A = this chain, B = another copy of it.
Amino acid sequence: MTSTPVDPSFTNLLENTRDASRVLGTQSTDVKNRVLSALQGFLRENTDKIVAANALDIEAAQAGGVAESLQDRLRLTPERVEGLAQSVGEIIGLPDPIGEVVRGSTLPNGLAISQVRVPFGVVGAIYEARPNVTVDIAALCIKSGNAAVLRGGSLAENSNQALVGLIGDALATEGISRDAVVTIDPFGRDGATWLMRSRGLVDVLIPRGSHSLIQAVVTESQVPVIETGEGNVHIFIDDSADLERAVDIVENAKVQRPSVCNAVETVLVNQSVAKTVIPPLVERLSGRGVTVHGCEATAALADVVPATDDDWATEYLSLEIAIRVVADVDEAISHIRTYSTGHTESILTESVERSDKFLREVDSATVMVNASTRFTDGGEFGFGAEVGISTQKLHARGPMGLPELTSTKWLVRGSGQIRH
């Protein structure tokens, strides 16, 4: 961590954002939707400008020898800008969580108490080279009445500056300060460190990106953090599973989009069905270009790369998978406890007893029976846009929608009550 003292202009920026959050936080749903609607229009009208700013980032990335996959995440095309505008449109269509009464009652002494949803205040986000996240997080924050402080990384600096400018223009159409959504990219790496120390100015910090980024934020931040996204995801094929369906589900969970956190990484197979299911499973996966790492028992049944202990702990995020033969559901659960990141695990079984056991004893954000792990997703769950998938237990767990971007407060209405 840097020990550079905090730049006063940084503190000043965050104080202005906190002030703006108080204005944004009390706006009606109509006002917030009009801001988002203006943003949608500005994104479409300024597509050329956005793509041109992005081209500067891509050029610098190419000159700096940045990997092609990272460049791809960084790149904005006219189609991708239209995708951003459409995702803002989806957020307009979502219900506003603010003001929802979560619970309440009238106490015996006549006090009426109610717990209502309120914005956090200021949400901080730290991510890397993904300009689409700038628009997603800003739009979700505006809809939930939160101001946002964004640290999108130097690789995407020009793209993010252009996008944050348009977001400010949209806020201004309703007379809301541009300070409600700001980028701290100009402060470089120091800015990220200062943000993690800004207790009292930032209410929650959400890191999105690589393992090392998330771990750095989680361990260094003094601001409360919501940890997202790492997924070392497992599927267990029980001996009672429908084996044809099992092969289809594993294929789907690995191949449909291998680079995302809900893709399966390790398949555990009950030893009684290993001989029947492993050969067709490996054949299907290999046929789809997947490299299969297998334990010794797997290697005795099919042509695989020998797996090491490292494979069980690896989130490949690519066309690779590990297969291990286990004695039974207990050994499967024990393997998952040792290696899982607590994102998603699925059991394939026709046994009620074993599905109940798996649902009860596996301690992950999402635990499934007879379904592809690819369904752990805010969109699939019906939440509309997604802030991320929380893998921590505090505040939010699993796919996070707008309600997860809120806190609550208690309102107590009395008529002179005193305590005896």
Contacts and interface: CB of A to CB of B under 8 A. Distances in A.
A199 interface: yes
Interface in A350-365: 355, 359-361, 363-365
Given A222-B219, A409-B364, A410-B398, A121 B393 contact: yes
A252 B418 contact: yes
The 6 lowest CB-CB distance pairs between A and B, nearest first, are: A371-B414, A252-B418, A393-B407, A395-B395, A374-B419, A368-B412
A107 B374 CA distance: 14
A372 B107 contact: no
A226 B369 CA distance: 33
A382 interface: yes
16 contacts: A22-B363, A107-B381, A107-B382, A113-B381, A115-B398, A203-B393, A204-B394, A245-B416, A256-B419, A359-B411, A363-B409, A367-B410, A371-B418, A395-B395, A398-B409, A399-B410
A230 to B, nearest CB: 13
Contacts of A107: 380-382
A305 B15 CA distance: 33
A397 interface: yes
Nearest to A21: B363
Contact of A413 (B105, B364, B370, B416): B370
A3 interface: no
A408 B364 CA distance: 9
Nearest to A19: B337
A323 B42 CA distance: 50
A249 B368 CA distance: 54
A381 B359 CA distance: 34
Interface residues of A, number: 69
A363 B118 contact: yes
B111 A412 contact: no
A26 interface: yes
A416 B242 contact: yes
B412 A375 contact: yes
A331 interface: no
Contacts of A113: 381
A26 B360 contact: yes
A183 to B, nearest CB: 23
A366 interface: yes
A220 to B, nearest CB: 9
A417 B199 contact: no
Nearest to A115: B398
A212 B177 CA distance: 36
A375 to B, nearest CB: 6
A209 to B, nearest CB: 19
Contacts of A375: 111, 412, 414, 417, 419
Interface string A374-395: 1110001110000000001111
A360 B45 CA distance: 36
Interface in A276-316: none
A224 B224 contact: yes
Given A105-B382, A107-B382, A397 B416 contact: no
A368 to B, nearest CB: 4
A25 B337 CA distance: 15
A55 interface: no
A236 interface: no
A268 to B, nearest CB: 18
Nearest to A120: B393
Contacts of A219: 199, 222
Given A364-B409, A394-B394, A394-B407, 8 more contacts: A22-B361, A224-B224, A224-B394, A252-B418, A355-B413, A367-B411, A374-B419, A397-B409
A384 to B, nearest CB: 14
Contact of A365 (B364, B365, B410): B410
A69 interface: no
Contacts of A224: 224-225, 392-394
A125 B359 CA distance: 29
